[in-house]
Amino acid sequence: MRRFAGVLASSLLLATLSVPTAYAQSEAQMHPRIAQAIRDLEDAINYMENAPNDFGGHKGAALNASRAAVNELRAALAFRARQDGRY
């Protein structure tokens, strides 16, 4: 429960600091491999959420780690936007 609260708090913090769509789009174009990783992770998250099994008890941890990775990648793009003066 404590881990979930930490992930939730981190997600909410990053959501409030998120880059506007136009800036995120330009950063995504400048760093297409990061943008692709975000899309791939979001696809994997969706797949796992809808999967009928728990992957041997690893589903919850994999979902948390994948969500955290997406948040970190978005934060990396936001950092670049700020560094490049686009935000």
* Residue 20 CB contacts under 8 Å (≥ 6 apart), including other chains: 87
Q: Which helix (H) or strand (E) holds 10?
A: helix 2-16
d(C-alpha 32, C-alpha 29), whole Å: 5
pLDDT averaged over consecutive 10-residue blocks of the chain (87 residues)? Answer: 54 49 71 96 98 94 98 94 74
Which pTM does this prediction carry? Answer: 0.69
What does the pLDDT read at residue 58?
A: 96
What does the pLDDT read at residue 5?
A: 52
What does the pLDDT read at residue 28?
A: 82
Contact 6, 67 (CB under 8 A): no
What one-character DSSP code corresponds to residue 17? T
Q: How is the chain split into domains, by residue range?
A: 2-83
Residue 62: what are its φ and ψ, rounded to 5°?
A: -65, -40
